[in-house]
């Protein structure tokens, strides 16, 4: 039966090329916009190399310190966490499987005593970092716990940096200069796409090789500092609540003994979908507002083309009223006819969906330098030499196709159901009698 519908639908499409093409373009337009949003969201939240554990991750970025005595200190201060804050609030946690601390920086890398300086993005990490994120090592391995504890100057670099400096990716055991200090290379990893916010870098080293990584400033309880991120890897998402409770207990304990400044984590640690919206150090994201805005945007982006298609569908249904009348007169039930028309329409919508998906890839290709910053107050321009590469897993995967199918269905229902329902409600005699005027 379904096959029959499709055959019929295909005939209809071929008969009415103009209608079909306008219809397909209209659908493609609507769907492409939604798909761009869906793909962006997928890239930011799904498990993608090397951030395969995003669904089990929690993040802490900032801390806000409020003065106890507002006469002495006027303002609440906020900023990144300090090592002391991480040590007091996060490192003693027992529920998470792994806890890691990351600081980021950038400096020049080169061959020892060479003038060819490469500006690289670096991350100062610990050993747990390599277990939380699943980097693919082309050769060598992460620095060891012993290296980390003794603050050895060892680094892991990306394949492209190795090629840039040494001319080949065989770099393990060699030395390079970073910030004009020698480092021994222990591992080479596959390049990381710039879109991976937590892992994009060219060079990784133990944060223990920074001289005063645990320096405590005397102001604000020493809780504001240079740590970019604290990563907590949970055994499973069901542990999130207990991790949060544990963190809150630690904050309470700190605040109970604090005399001058009280700490506030503003709802952190965040899960992935919240963390991508946390930009400010002094307030958390208003997730309800963000969700409402996103839903409204998607609704409008689908509604406008759906209105278009509804108009076309209703005219088309009027023209086919005679056909429907005949079918009805021969005993076809209303549900059968509805099914038929919806299937026909779904075929068109599906074609539009496919075109829309391709179109959304094009949009992403041309806007990739800035589109990932969408929804952010500030934009960062690309670092020199970096390019935004979308890997196949970001663009072609089951989830994206599932979404497009869903969007097509919604579009189909939005645009065809009302016109079809209205025209089928007419009495047979009406349908048979009405001649198009």
| 308 lies in the binding site for other proteins (CB under 8 A) | yes
Residue (330 or 436) nearer to other proteins, CB: 436
Least CB distance to other proteins at residue 421 (A) = 14
| Candidate segments 21-29, 106-114, 155-163, 391-399, binder of other proteins by CB under 8 A | 21-29
| Nearest alpha-carbon partner for 361 in 392, 398, 387 | 392
Give the binding range for other proteins (CB under 8 A) out of 27-35, 219-227, 237-245, 333-341.
27-35
Name residues whose C-beta falls within 8 Å of residue 235's C-beta, 6 or more positions apart in sequence: 56, 95, 96, 97
Residue recorded with tokens 């554990």? 53
Handedness of CA 196, 200, 205, 209 (dihedral sign): negative
Pick 29 or 138: Cβ nearer other proteins: 29
Strand 181-189 versus strand 175-178 pairing type = antiparallel
Taking the complex as a whole, the smallest distance from the CB of residue 24 to other proteins amounts, in Å, to: 10
Cβ distance 121 to 201 under 8 Å?
yes
State the nearest-atom distance from the C-beta of 392 to other proteins, in Å: 25
For other proteins, the binding residue among 9, 13, 20, 26 (CB under 8 A) is 26
Decide if residue 361 touches other proteins (CB under 8 A): no
Which range in 20-28, 193-201, 233-241, 333-341 contacts other proteins by CB under 8 A? 20-28
The CB density around residue 180, as the number of other CB atoms within 10 Å, is 12
Cis, peptide link before residue 417, omega less than 30° from 0: no
Query: Minimum CB separation from other proteins for residue 407, in Å?
Result: 15
For 64, the 3-state DSSP assignment is: strand
Among 149, 376, 399, 427, binds other proteins (CB under 8 A): 376
Neighbours of 148 (CB within 10 A): 21
Residue 21 neighbours by CB distance under 10 Å: 12
Is the CB of residue 78 less than 8 Å from the CB of residue 65?
Answer: yes
Distance CA 370, CA 246 (A): 38
> Which is nearer to other proteins, 373 or 389 (by Cβ)?
373
Instruction: State yes or no: residue 284 binds other proteins (CB under 8 A).
Output: no
Near other proteins by CB under 8 A, which window of 82-90, 153-161, 183-191, 313-321?
A: 313-321
Q: If binding is defined by CB under 8 A, does position 22 make contact with other proteins?
A: yes
* Total of chain residues touching other proteins, rule CB under 8 A: 36
Contact between 410 and other proteins per CB under 8 A: no
The torsion angles phi and psi of 283, rounded to 5 degrees, stand at -155, 150
Taking CB under 8 A as the binding criterion, the range among 99-107, 220-228, 374-382, 405-413 that sits at the site for other proteins is 374-382
* Partners of 227 in beta bridges: 81
Q: How far is the CB of 203 from other proteins (least distance, A)?
A: 23
Is residue 25 within the footprint of other proteins (CB under 8 A)? yes
Query: Binding to other proteins by residue 381, rule CB under 8 A?
Result: yes
Q: Is residue 37 a contact point for other proteins (CB under 8 A)?
A: no
Q: Which is nearer to other proteins, 32 or 199 (CB)?
A: 32
If binding is defined by CB under 8 A, does position 182 make contact with other proteins? no
Tell me if 33 contacts other proteins by CB under 8 A: yes
Q: Which of residues 106-125 bind other proteins (CB under 8 A)?
A: none
Question: Least distance from C-beta 279 to other proteins, angstroms?
Answer: 11
CA distances from residue 236 to 10, 54, 59, 126, 146 in whole angstroms, order as listed: 48, 11, 15, 22, 29
What is the chain's percent helix, strand, coil content, to nearest 5?
Answer: 50, 20, 30
Nearest in space to 397 (alpha carbons), one of 34, 38, 32 = 38
- 175: region left, alpha or beta (phi > 0 left; psi from -120 to 50 alpha): beta
**Spatial separation of the C-alpha atoms in residues 39 and 377, rounded to whole Å:** 20
Handedness of CA 133, 134, 138, 143 (dihedral sign): positive
Q: Is 30 in the site for other proteins (CB under 8 A)?
A: yes
> Given the rule CB under 8 A, which residues bind other proteins?
18-19, 22-23, 25-26, 29-30, 33, 300-301, 303-305, 307-308, 310-312, 314-316, 318-319, 367, 370, 373-374, 376-381, 436-437
């Amino acid at each position: 039966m379904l096959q029959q519908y499709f055959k019929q639908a295909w005939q209809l499409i071929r008969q009415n090329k103009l209608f079909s093409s306008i219809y397909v373009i209209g659908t493609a337009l609507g769907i492409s916009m939604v798909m761009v949003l869906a793909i962006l969201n997928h890239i930011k939240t799904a498990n993608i190399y090397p951030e395969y554990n995003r669904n089990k991750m929690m993040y802490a970025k900032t801390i806000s310190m409020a003065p106890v005595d507002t006469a002495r200190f006027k303002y609440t201060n906020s900023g990144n966490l300090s090592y002391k804050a991480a040590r007091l609030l996060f490192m003693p946690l027992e529920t998470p499987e792994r806890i890691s601390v990351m600081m980021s920086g950038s400096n020049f890398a080169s061959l020892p005593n060479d003038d060819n300086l490469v500006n690289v993005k670096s991350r100062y990490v610990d050993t747990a970092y390599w277990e939380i994120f699943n980097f693919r090592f082309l050769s060598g391995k992460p620095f060891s716990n012993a290296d980390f504890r003794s603050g050895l100057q060892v680094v892991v670099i990306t394949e492209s940096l190795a090629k840039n400096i040494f001319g080949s990716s065989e770099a393990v055991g060699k030395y390079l200069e970073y910030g004009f200090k020698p480092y021994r290379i222990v591992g080479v990893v596959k390049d990381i796409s710039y879109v991976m916010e937590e892992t994009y870098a060219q060079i990784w080293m133990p944060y223990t090789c920074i001289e005063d990584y645990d320096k405590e400033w005397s102001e604000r309880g020493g809780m504001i500092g240079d740590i970019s991120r604290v990563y907590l890897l949970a055994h499973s998402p069901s542990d999130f609540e207990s991790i949060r409770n544990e963190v809150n207990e630690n904050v309470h304990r700190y605040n109970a003994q604090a005399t001058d400044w009280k700490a506030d984590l503003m709802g952190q640690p965040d899960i992935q979908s919240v963390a991508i919206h946390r930009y400010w150090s002094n307030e958390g994201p208003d997730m309800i507002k963000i969700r409402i805005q996103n839903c409204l945007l998607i609704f409008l982006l689908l509604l406008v083309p759906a209105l278009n298609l509804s108009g076309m569908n209703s005219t088309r249904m009027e023209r086919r009223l005679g056909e429907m009348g005949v079918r009805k007169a021969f005993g076809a039930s209303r549900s059968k006819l509805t099914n038929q028309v919806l299937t026909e329409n779904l075929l068109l919508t599906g074609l539009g969906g496919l075109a829309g998906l391709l179109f959304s890839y094009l949009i992403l290709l041309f806007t990739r330098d800035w589109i990932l910053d969408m929804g952010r107050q500030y934009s960062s321009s690309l670092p020199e030499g970096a390019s935004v590469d979308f890997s196949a897993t970001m663009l072609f995967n089951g989830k994206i196709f599932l979404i497009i199918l869903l969007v097509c269905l919604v579009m189909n229902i939005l645009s065809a159901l009302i016109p079809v329902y209205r025209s089928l409600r007419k009495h047979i005699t009406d349908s048979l009698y009405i001649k198009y005027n």
